[in-house]
Structure 1
């Protein structure tokens, strides 16, 4: 499946070469480090029209190939990566070296490997003699690992302003567990963080009756928070609340604290929207005995893609994987958030499919060459089943 890909900056003869080039670009959020220009040059050679735009230091790319009247599919991805120091790595984390059939490097799995594989799959699709119908978009950002304020959200809003409605969106996040293609995500739990300030009354620890201990109130509130009953949870998509910090300022051993701060994060089932989650927590924190002020931070909405009776993209992806592997993938909504939430709607089915996620954000992040070949073949099958005229 290795075919030449020419670039003004060199020759990229295979998915491995493309991935190595992408890894060597130190595109730590929100710096794209030239990767979007590289992708633009490659996609233009396949007949795509390409535009880039920048929002608050974040670069985004939208590429479009119109084959003819028919449904619209987008591939969504990100070129930015989390930072990496050399300590503990077998190789320089930005070298893209291959050892014993495994490529090491920051972003190898999350998610430059997916981009490299999709680029080669796209090339195969565009070079094929079989007629295609529909429209194919590439939607790439350099702001997924950070706050995600000026990346895919801006891309989605831009498409909406142009009247573009996606029928389907394939997100290249690493979703596989033990083998490529064994798991895909047809949704994600939502996420939101909270910061609670509890006010009491300072006093000497020897006279607790003259003080109100904010830490004690916080302890009771934490117990209540972690015991909340999430009635709308559905199998496979459970809501979890984790306290991430309990802080008392200016701690001394003879002073009853007058204030205490509690921070927490909720990963909530796709059966909820963030407003519902907030209302449940606020009903608790607004009780008079807690005297708490609550501030919400970093909301990320949940989304879910169910089956459709006709033209179901989820079913198409399942069957494409089955054709390649001989078995259907498991469906999951577990894990963190993804940019899929910005594209999911009543009109757009979003499915995430990528390589194994066992090493993402870790020292010695990696992907095997065999896994790259497999995800490329899966992507090509998906593209063929979606675009090629039957």
Structure 2
């Protein structure tokens, strides 16, 4: 539990990005309900000269905003305003109030990732004050990142493609920093794939095992075989891992050999693979049990990786902005969970994730220090100026 201190909420003394974050937190935008957050953000961007297009599908609201400065690169800020639920009784304050306690802004989504949205809005203000002269700047925001991600950024990417929009780069405001703001950025993410594996045996009396096929024994062997797979296509810094997340035998009798066993597992895989490769390799590893198993695959999320581009190297640009603001260079990483960056990354579009620290995301009393918010705002500002100024 945090130690409470007097709440500071004097709007006249707060930095713009702090006030923006407080406002965003106060929208109870639990996936997929935008709860007014995207409406408010759209109004803010329209006031700043952006052309905004909103569309809602299956309860998910998406925002595409655009402003043109001149010829030059097309770069987008991508993010989400939806959050996971919060149980108020476990928080030290209202999780949707945006209170400031001991120099930290407390609230659901403070770090993941309304803090990134608030910082980018202030960075946009600073950019516009410089009268930028080149490029096209997009905002791509959804209310469906924390859920199944079926009707959010995937559809935004489809919309852009249908309208002939080719982005040169995206910066995703996910919380990527570890010990201090700017120490880590993501230039890719591993893929993710879940599966349910049904094992079928033959039931019978435990005293006569020779007449049975014990599904629990098969399940244990299969679980071990899954752990022993060698992933030869792994790329340095992007290793594949497989975790068994469930092992269930629906049998309550101690004198009955079970005929069924279910194994659940999840694979987080290197960008050296695609989901089909993972399925094939697992199928080969389990081939000796093929008569006894049936696998159903779920929620495939393909990996992405950004290596830079000689004509417009977005990694180097973001690294330079971070060094300018922190006097140190960030670590490149592809670790962690999936993100919406995968929907925008392709052979042409470079995607970098960069945001505040991730040490409290999805936790009770999620929070971001005010100084961290100010620092990421400076990094975003430096990045935008390098692109558009």
Fold-level similarity (TM above 0.5): yes
Tell me, what secondary structure is at the counterpart of 1:251?
coil
Match 1:114 to one of 113, 116, 119: 116
Deviation readout 1:115-141 (Å, 9 max, x if unpaired) = 000001101111224x42110000000
In the alignment, what sits opposite 1:263?
264
1:92 is displaced (CA, Å) by 1.1
Deviation readout 1:169-225 (Å, 9 max, x if unpaired) = 000000000000000000000000011001100101111111110010111111100
* Matched residue count: 378
In the alignment, what sits opposite 1:78?
80
Tell me, what secondary structure is at the counterpart of 2:90?
coil
Are residues 1:337 and 2:309 paired? no
What is the alpha-carbon distance in structure 2 between the residues aligned to residue 251 and residue 173 of structure 1?
Answer: 45
In the alignment, what sits opposite 2:19?
17
Assess if the C-alpha contact under 8 Å between 1:221 and 1:290 holds in 2: no
Are residues 1:37 and 2:51 paired? no
Assess if the C-alpha contact under 8 Å between 1:198 and 1:290 holds in 2: no
Deviation readout 1:141-172 (Å, 9 max, x if unpaired) = 00000000000000000100001000000000
1:249 is displaced (CA, Å) by 1.5
In the alignment, what sits opposite 1:196?
197
In the alignment, what sits opposite 1:53?
55
TM normalised by structure 1 equals: 0.95
Runs of 5+ in structure 1 lacking a partner?
1-9
Assess if the C-alpha contact under 8 Å between 1:285 and 1:294 holds in 2: no
What is the alpha-carbon distance in structure 2 between the residues aligned to residue 203 and residue 249 of structure 1?
Answer: 14
In the alignment, what sits opposite 2:309?
308
In the alignment, what sits opposite 2:106?
104
In the alignment, what sits opposite 2:28?
26
**Misfit runs of 4+, over 3 Å:** 10-13
Tell me, what secondary structure is at the counterpart of 2:232?
coil
Are residues 1:229 and 2:233 paired? no
What is the alpha-carbon distance in structure 1 between the residues aligned to residue 291 and residue 327 of structure 2?
Answer: 56
Are residues 1:377 and 2:378 paired? yes
Runs of 5+ in structure 2 lacking a partner?
1-10
What is the alpha-carbon distance in structure 1 between the residues aligned to residue 270 and residue 316 of structure 2?
Answer: 22
Root-mean-square deviation (Å)? 1.3
In the alignment, what sits opposite 2:8?
none
TM normalised by structure 2 equals: 0.95
In the alignment, what sits opposite 1:4?
none
1:283 is displaced (CA, Å) by 1.5
What is the alpha-carbon distance in structure 1 between the residues aligned to residue 261 and residue 296 of structure 2?
Answer: 14
